[in-house]
Structure 1
Amino acid sequence: MLLTRLFLTVVFLNGFAVSIAKADDFTVDEIKIEGLQRLPDGTLLNYLPIVVGDPVDDNQITFAISELYKTGFFANVQFFRDNDALVVRVKERPSIADVEFTGNSDIDDDALKDALLDIGVTRGQIYNRSLLEKLTLELERVYFSQGKYGVKINTEIEELDQNRVDISITISEGQVALIKHINIVGNDVYSDDILLDELESGVPSSWSLFSSIDEYSKPKLNGDLEKIRSYYLDRGYIKFTIESTQVSITPDKQDIYVTVNVSEGDRYKISSSKLTGELVVNRRTMESQIVTRQGMWFSRSLMTTSKKRLESQMGRIGYAFSEIKLTPDIDEERKEVALTYFAIPGEKFYVRRINIHGNDSTQDQVFRREMRLMEGSVLASNLLDRSKIRLQRLPYVETVNVDTVPVPGSSNQVDLKVSITEKLAGSFNIGAGFSQVQGLLFNVGLTQENMFGSGQRLSLNVNTDRANTIYSAAFTEPYYTIDGISRTVSLSFRNRNAARQRINNFQTNSGNLNISYGVPLSEFNTLNLGYGLSYIEITPSIINPSRDVTEFLEANDGQTAYTNVTLNGSFSHDTRNRTIFANAGSQQTIGINMTMPSSDLEYYKIRYVTNTYFGLTSATTLLLRSNLAYGSGYGQTDVLPFFERYFAGGIRTVRGYDSNSLGPRDPGNGFTIGGNMRVTGGVDYIFPIPFVEKPPSSVRLSLFFDIGNVFLDNFNTYNAPVGDNGFQADQLRSSYGISLVWISPIGPLRFSYAQTINDQTSGGNIANDPADFGDRIRRFQFSIGSFF
C-alpha cells in the first residue's frame, strides 16, 4: 500500500519539533497506531481528539499532535495518511524502573521516596528529564528542613531495555547546621531565659558534651514556636502573636542564628464559663467537666481540656461524634474573657457489626470476648477505649487499631474495624551463666501464651544450677466460665541444696499442686482464690549443720517430712494500659498464702506489691514500685519455716548485690538464711534509645534506684548491731544504675549495671566468723531468652 507522506512544513509545538505534510482534506475511515510499547491503544485513542468518520485538515492534525504531547507520555508524535486511514506513529517516553539512593544515613530511603512521590517521581511513572531539577530541589528541601544546608545531590540515569530507566541518586548529606544564638524580641513580661528553657532547640551548656539541642531543623523550630505561643496563651495572654521569624545562616552553611519577634499583648482573666446548646447529659454532670473557672487567668490548655472532657462525657452515652464549639467573648475594657461552651451532640450512634482483621493465628472469639462493646449496642466512647486497652494487654498482641466505619445508607450506625497485629505467642527461654557462688547456671522453659489460637496458656520450665533442680508446669484457661472466671492448674517439683547457694545448710525435696481461680469483679479489679497440696522432705547437713535448721527440727520433734493443705487468695487492682512495657496506669496486689489448720505445719505469708506508671512525656515514663512481704507461724507452729523465708538481692530485687545474698546470716558459717519480712522498692526512669530518630518499641532503657533487704524476727541483719533484730530502716541496702530490656528476635534479654550505695564490707558483727566477707557485690547482671 502506497503511503502518502504529509511533510510540507516544520512547526515547533510545546518545545518539540514536529513534521507535518500538507495534503487535501479527507475523512478518516480508520485509525492505525504505531510505536506503543507499554500503553494500550485505548489510552492513546482516549486522548486523541479525532475519531473515525471525522473530516481532518492541517489545523486538526496540529491540534491533535498538541493534545498528545500534553499527556507527557510521548517523546515524539507523527501523523501519516494511508489512503483514508490516519496513521499515528509515536515514541513513548521511558518509564522509571527504580529509584535508588546511596549516601543517605540521617533520612532513610522510604522517607525520601515519599518526598519524591509528591512530585511524581516513583517506580512506574513516566520519566521526563525536566523532573530531574524538581527531584533535586525536592530532596534539598527535605534536607534543608533537617538543617543539612551543605547537602549535595547527584543524579545519574541508566537506560534499560523495554524503554525503562533507573535513577541513581548519590547524596552527600554534610553536617547539620548548629544554632549559635536564639534571640527573642518584644518580650517584656517573661525574660529570654524563661522562654528559652521551654524550647527544644537552643545553645547547649559547655558541659553538655552529647547534647543535640543546637542541631537545627525546621520541624523542631516550628514546634518551639508553638511552645512559646502555648506558654503565653496558658498564662492569660490571649492576643499573643509571633509576628515573624528570621533564620540566618552563615556563608559556610554551618551556623544558624534565629530571631523571633513576638507581641505579648495584655493579660486577660476569665469572667465566666457558660454551658449552652443541646444538653443530653445532666447539666450538673456536664458543668463538672469544665475546669476553667471565673477569676482564673485565661488558659488555652485548660479550655481545650474542658472541651475534650465535655465531648467525652457525651460520647459515653453514644454521642460519639459530638462537638463542643468554643466562643471567647473578649471585654477589652475590663481585660476579661467570657467563655461559652456550646454543645452539639449530633445523633446517637450504634454498633452494627464488629469486624476483626489480622487474627491469622487466633480464633475470632478470643478477641471478641475482650470487647466491651457488642453488636447492636450504643457506641460508648469509654467502652470503645477500654476494649482497645483490653486487646492491647493480651500478651500475643503487638498493636491494636480500632476504626469506626459509617454504614452506607444509615445516619446513626457504624461498623467497628478492629485491626490487630499479632506477635509470637510462644517463647522458648534458655539461660546459662556462671556464678562464684552458684557455679554453672542453666534454665530452659517453654511457654505458649496462645495455645492453638484459643488464648489458653501453657508453660513448662526446667531450672538447674549447682543448688537447685526445678521442674514446673502450669496451664491457664482465661475464660473457664463464660463470665470470664479463669482457672490455673500448676504443678512443680524441686530438689534443693541450699548450702551450695550459701543459703543455710540443708537439702530438700518438695512438690506442689495448686488450683486457682481468677474472678473479675470489675474492669480493673480481680479476686484470685486457690487451694493446693504441698509436700516437703528436709535433709539437714551432717557436716557443720545450720543452727537455724537444727532448732526448727528439734521444735518439731525431729520430723523431716511435712504434708500441708494450702489456701491462697489475692486482690488485684490493675489499670495498666498494657502488660508489657506499660507507660500509664498502676497495678496493686495484696495477697495471702497459708496452710490449713491441722496441716503438719501452720503458717501464713502475706504480700503487697505495687507498680505505678506516670507518663512524663510521649516517650518517657516514671515507674514507682514496691514489694512488701511478711510471714509467720500460727497454731502449733511458732515461726515461719526456714524453707519458706524471703530472700533479696539480684536482678529482680536489689540490683548490684548477688542473688539472694542480703539479709541475716548464719553465725556459724556466714550463709544467708533469709527472713520472714522482705522490703524492696525502687524508682525507674524509662526512656527510649537516645540519638535514634525512631527508637524500636521492643527496647526499653531505664535509669534505676533500688532499695531493700530482708529481716528476721529475733535475729539481726548482717552487720547490724547485736540486738537490732527484725526490721531496721538503716539496714536497707540500695543501688543505682542503668538497665536495658530488649524483646529481641532471639528472645527477651535483660541487662543491668549497678553501683551499690551503702554496701557493707567485711568486719561486721558476726563474732569469729571466717566467712565474714561483706556484702556480695555483682555489678553486671543479665538474663537471656529466645522466642519461636
Structure 2
Amino acid sequence: MKVVSAVFLALISVQSFAKNVEDVRIDGLVQMPSSRAFDVIGFDKNESYDSGKVYQAINSLFNTGYFSDIDVYEENDVLVFDVAERPSIGNLTIEGNELIKTEDLQRGLKLSGLEIGEIYQPETLNQIVQELQRQYYALGRYSAKVDIEVEDMPRNRAGIVIKIDEGDTAKIVHINIVGNKDFDEETLTKDFESSETGSWNPFSSADEYAKGKIDGDINTLKSFYLDHGYLDFNVVSSQVSLSADKRDVYIVINVEEGKPYNINNIALSGSLPIAEDSVWKQISQKKGDVFSRSEVTKVIEGISTVLGDEGYLFTNVNVIPEKLDNHTVNLSYQIAPGPKVYVRRITFSGNSETQDEVLRREMTQFEGALATHSKIQASKRRLERLGFFSSVDLRTRPVSGTSDQVDLDVVVQEQASGSIQASIGYSQEDGTVLGFGISKRNFLGTGNKLSFSASRTDSTQDYSINYDNPYFTVDGVSRGFQVFYQTSDHADDDVEDYDLDEIGVGVNYGYPISDTQRLSFGMTIKESTVKLGYDPSNETEDYVDTHGDNYDDVIASLTWSDSDLIGGVLPTNGYSTRATLEVALPVGDQQYAKLGVTSQKYWNLNGSDLWLFRLKGRLGYGTGYGDSDSLPFFENYYAGGAYSVRGYSASSLGPQNSYDDADTDTSALGGNILMTGTAELIFPLPMVEDHKSVRTTVFLDGGNVFTDSCLSANTECNEGVDLSEIRYSLGVSWTWITPIAPLSFNFARPLNAKDGDSTDFFQFQLGTTF
C-alpha cells in the first residue's frame, strides 16, 4: 500500500508550485542497490520538484516490485524516501506432487519470477495457485488442492512451501453421444482413448478423465464421420458434469450427423510436369465411392511422393471438395509442383563421436543430385538401422537466393554404442554367472565393431574376441574376425555327463545384395575335445567310439540376411530373416552340415511404438554326410527355457538318451531337427515412462526338437517329426534393459506338458555390474 506522510501532504496542499530540494535521501534499502533506487526516482539534490514528480517517483519505486511501503517527507530541506522492502525468497519447497515432476514445476515457477533470490510477491503466488489447480483439473484431478505457506526467515527473507494434494482422478461414469442416428455409441466410441468405468483393469487408465483425452476423442469422432462421407457432420457442444464429491464425470457430446456424400467426379488441375497416368495411379477413389477424408489424405501423400521422386520436392497438393445438392461431391486435386530441386550440400550435426564419413556412406541422397523423396527417406532408414543414434532427423533447407536448391541437414542424437562391464549374477538356466566384457559397436567413431567377452557359469566358460568392419571396401563389403575358446561341463545340468572344449578362429566376408540384404561367406578352423563323464549315455559313447574324442574341423558357412529392424535392443518396427548353412568340410575329421533359419517381424498396432505384435520362428536341420552318418551329438539342437519354449526347463525337451542301466535317469539328447515359434503382444505399463528400455509382453510359445536317427537300443526315441509332440506355453514376460545389467522375468504355464517333462513356472535372469 502506498503511504505518504502527513507532513508531506500538508506541504504539497499549500505549495503546488515547484520547489528546490538541497538533497535527496533513501532510507531502508537492503536488497536494491542505492544507485538503482536513485535512477528509479529520477531526480537528485538541488533539483526542483513538485507533487506530480514525487508521485511519479513513488509509482516508479512500487513498479519495481521491491517495496511494500513507501513514506516520503521533507526534513531540513532534504527530501527523504523511507522505504520498506519486500522480503526475498530464501527457500522454496514443493511437497506432494507426483503427477507433475518437480523439475517441471520449478521451471514454471522460475518463468513466473518465483525462485530463490527473487523478491517475494503475494500476487504472484495467487496466480501460481490458480494455474496449478487449472493444470490438475485438466488432468482430471478435480479434488486437487494447492496451499502455500510463507515463513519468516532472518535477513528479511521468506521461506515458501507449496503443498500439493493431488487428490484422486475423477472416473468417467458415462459417455453419452446425443444426435447420432446412423451409428450406435459402441461403434462411435470403440476408438476413443477414454472409456467408461467398468471392470477392474490395473493396466488401463482409459476411465480416468483428462480434458486432453476428451478433446482427442472428439477429433476421433469427427474423423470417423468424415471417413464415412458425412461432410456436414458437426459437434454442436460437449458438456462435462461432475458429481458432488468430484469423483464421477459424466460426458455428453451433442452432434449433428447430416447425410453421407458419394463421389460424383474426380478431376486434376494445375501443372503436371510428369505423365498424368502416374498421378492417376495414386488415386484409389472412383465415381460412386463414399467420400473418405483418410483416403483423400493418402492420395495427397501419394501424389506428393511421386512428384517428390522426380525432384519436385516442394509439391503442394490441395483438394477442393464441391458439394452438390444430391449429397454428392466433386473432388478436384490441385497440383502445384514448383521447380525441380537439387541438393547443394549435406551437413551433419549431433555426431560428436561418430565420424561424418560413417554417416555419409549410408546416404543414398547425394550432393549435387536431384533431391528425391524416396532417397531422403531411404537415407534416414539406413542411418536408423546403424543403431548408433536414438533419433535421426533429415531436414531440407532452401538455399537463399535460389529456388531450385536445398541443403540437407542431417541431425542425429547419439546413444551409447559401447560398454565395459564386470558382472555377477544368477540365471536359472546357467546358475551363477560371472563375466567381463568390453564391447564397442562404433569403435573410435569408425562404425566398426570390436568386442571382447569372458564369462563363466556353473557349467560353461566362454572367451571370445570379435572384430567387424562393415565397410572393408567402399562398396560395402564387410570383413570380420573371430577368436574363441569355450569349455563346458554338463555333469550337473539337464544335458548328459560329458565335458567339451572348443577353440578356434574364423574370418567372414559380407556382400550387400540390396539396401537390407547381405550375403556372407565365412571359414572357421576349430578343434573340439570330448571327455566322457562317469556315466555317459549310449548315444554319446557310441559316437566317441566311432569317431574318437578329438576333432579338427574346417567349417565353411554361407549366410543370407535381410534386416530392416528399427529400435535397437528392443525393436519397435520392421523385420529380420537370417538363413545360415554351415558345412564341416571333408578336409577335417567330421563331415556334417547344418541349415538354420530365424525370422521375426513386428507390427505396430496403433502407431505409437507402444502396442506391438511380434512373430518369431526358428527352424534348424543338421545331418552327417560322407564318413559321418549323423550330426555330432554336441552340435544337436535343444529346446526349452527362456530362449525357446518358456515354461519348460532349459534344454529339457525332445528325445531322451538311453543307458544300459534301466534305473539311470535319462536326460535330453537333443536332436538334429528344431522347430520353435513365438507370438507376442507387447503393451505398455501405465506407470512406466521409459518404454525404450522396459518391455512387457503376453506370449504364446511352441516348439520341440526331433531326431531322424535313434539307436536301436533306445526304445523311448522316435524318429522323424511328430507335430503332436510340439509343446506350448502361455505367459507374461517383463524385461528391463538397465544401464548396468539386464533383468528378465518370465511367468509361463505349459499348456500340454506330458509325463516326464520338466517345467518351470517362473524363470529369470539377473545381473549386477560393479
Same fold (TM over 0.5): yes
Counterpart CA distance in 2 for 1:289 and 1:49 is: 72
Mapping 1:147-296, distance limit 5 Å: 147-158=140-151, 165-206=158-199, 208=201, 211-296=204-289
Counterpart CA distance in 2 for 1:90 and 1:325 is: 65
Mapping 1:749-764, distance limit 5 Å: 749-761=743-755
Residue type at the aligned position of 2:656: R
Which residue does the alignment assign to 1:738? 732
Which residue does the alignment assign to 1:422? 415
Give CA deviations for 1:148-192 in whole Å, capped at 9, x if unaligned. Answer: 111121112345677664432101122222222222111111112
Q: TM-score, normalised by structure 2?
A: 0.87
Which residue does the alignment assign to 1:681? 677
Query: Contact conserved, 1:654 with 1:707, CA < 8 A, in 2?
Result: yes
**Residue 708 in structure 1 maps to residue 729 in structure 2:** no
Q: CA deviation at 1:458?
A: 2.5
Counterpart CA distance in 1 for 2:391 and 2:284 is: 33
Q: CA deviation at 1:732?
A: 0.8
Q: CA deviation at 1:535?
A: 1.8
Mapping 1:135-534, distance limit 5 Å: 135-158=128-151, 165-206=158-199, 208=201, 211-331=204-324, 333-346=325-338, 348=341, 350-357=343-350, 359=352, 361-404=353-396, 412-414=405-407, 416=409, 418-423=411-416, 425-428=418-421, 430-433=423-426, 440=432, 442-534=434-526
Unaligned runs of 5+ in 1: 12-18, 762-773
Residue type at the aligned position of 1:569: L
Distance 1:691 1:495, change over 3 A: closer
Q: CA deviation at 1:352?
A: 2.9
Distance 1:367 1:258, change over 3 A: same
Distance 1:32 1:383, change over 3 A: farther
Residue type at the aligned position of 1:9: L
Give CA deviations for 1:737-770 in whole Å, capped at 9, x if unaligned. Answer: 1111111132222221211111111xxxxxxxxx
Give CA deviations for 1:502-527 in whole Å, capped at 9, x if unaligned. Answer: 43444333222110122222221112
Q: TM-score, normalised by structure 1?
A: 0.85
Give CA deviations for 1:325-376 in whole Å, capped at 9, x if unaligned. Answer: 2211111x221122222223345263534132252x4444444444444555
Moved more, 269-278 or 89-98: 89-98
Counterpart CA distance in 2 for 1:49 and 1:318 is: 64
Counterpart CA distance in 2 for 1:77 and 1:321 is: 63
Moved more, 40-49 or 284-293: 40-49
Distance 1:82 1:449, change over 3 A: farther
Unaligned runs of 5+ in 2: none
Q: CA deviation at 1:96?
A: 5.1
Query: Contact conserved, 1:429 with 1:784, CA < 8 A, in 2?
Result: no
Counterpart CA distance in 2 for 1:734 and 1:34 is: 86
Q: CA deviation at 1:602?
A: 2.0
Distance 1:6 1:441, change over 3 A: closer
Counterpart CA distance in 2 for 1:402 and 1:206 is: 45
What secondary structure is seen at the aligned counterpart in 2 of 1:515? strand
What secondary structure is seen at the aligned counterpart in 2 of 1:777? coil
Query: Contact conserved, 1:47 with 1:67, CA < 8 A, in 2?
Result: yes
Distance 1:494 1:67, change over 3 A: closer
Q: CA deviation at 1:9?
A: 3.0
Counterpart CA distance in 1 for 2:456 and 2:732 is: 28
**Residue 664 in structure 1 maps to residue 659 in structure 2:** no
Q: CA deviation at 1:651?
A: 0.7
Q: CA deviation at 1:272?
A: 3.4
Moved more, 340-349 or 148-157: 340-349
Counterpart CA distance in 2 for 1:414 and 1:78 is: 64
Moved more, 652-661 or 65-74: 65-74
Identity across the alignment (%): 32
What secondary structure is seen at the aligned counterpart in 1 of 2:188? helix
Query: Contact conserved, 2:313 with 2:372, CA < 8 A, in 1?
Result: yes
Counterpart CA distance in 2 for 1:495 and 1:591 is: 24
Query: Contact conserved, 2:423 with 2:433, CA < 8 A, in 1?
Result: no
Q: Of the candidates 633, 639, 654, which is equivalent to residue 648 of structure 1?
A: 639
Query: Contact conserved, 1:427 with 1:787, CA < 8 A, in 2?
Result: no
Counterpart CA distance in 1 for 2:312 and 2:169 is: 49
Query: Contact conserved, 1:651 with 1:752, CA < 8 A, in 2?
Result: yes
Q: CA deviation at 1:396?
A: 4.4
Query: Contact conserved, 2:427 with 2:765, CA < 8 A, in 1?
Result: no
Counterpart CA distance in 2 for 1:410 and 1:86 is: 66
CA RMSD of aligned residues (A): 3.8
Q: CA deviation at 1:675?
A: 0.9
Residue type at the aligned position of 1:673: L
Distance 1:64 1:328, change over 3 A: farther
Q: CA deviation at 1:102?
A: 0.6
Which residue does the alignment assign to 2:765? 783
Residue type at the aligned position of 2:329: V
Residue type at the aligned position of 1:744: T
What secondary structure is seen at the aligned counterpart in 1 of 2:481? strand
Which residue does the alignment assign to 1:563? 552
Counterpart CA distance in 1 for 2:40 and 2:297 is: 52
Give CA deviations for 1:116-145 in whole Å, capped at 9, x if unaligned. Answer: 567665667654322222222111111111
Residue type at the aligned position of 1:587: S
Q: CA deviation at 1:587?
A: 0.6
Counterpart CA distance in 1 for 2:398 and 2:84 is: 47
Query: Contact conserved, 2:583 with 2:593, CA < 8 A, in 1?
Result: yes
Residue type at the aligned position of 1:426: S
Distance 1:501 1:122, change over 3 A: same
Distance 1:441 1:746, change over 3 A: closer
Counterpart CA distance in 2 for 1:379 and 1:95 is: 58
Moved more, 594-603 or 704-713: 594-603
Counterpart CA distance in 2 for 1:384 and 1:80 is: 75
Q: CA deviation at 1:109?
A: 2.1
Q: CA deviation at 1:703?
A: 1.0
Which residue does the alignment assign to 1:593? 582
Give CA deviations for 1:700-730 in whole Å, capped at 9, x if unaligned. Answer: 111111111111113499x9x9785211111
Which residue does the alignment assign to 1:128? 121
Counterpart CA distance in 2 for 1:83 and 1:664 is: 113
Query: Contact conserved, 2:508 with 2:521, CA < 8 A, in 1?
Result: yes
Distance 1:393 1:58, change over 3 A: same
Counterpart CA distance in 2 for 1:28 and 1:569 is: 100
Counterpart CA distance in 2 for 1:99 and 1:401 is: 39
Give CA deviations for 1:507-566 in whole Å, capped at 9, x if unaligned. Answer: 33322211012222222111211112122233345x54422234334554xx33222222
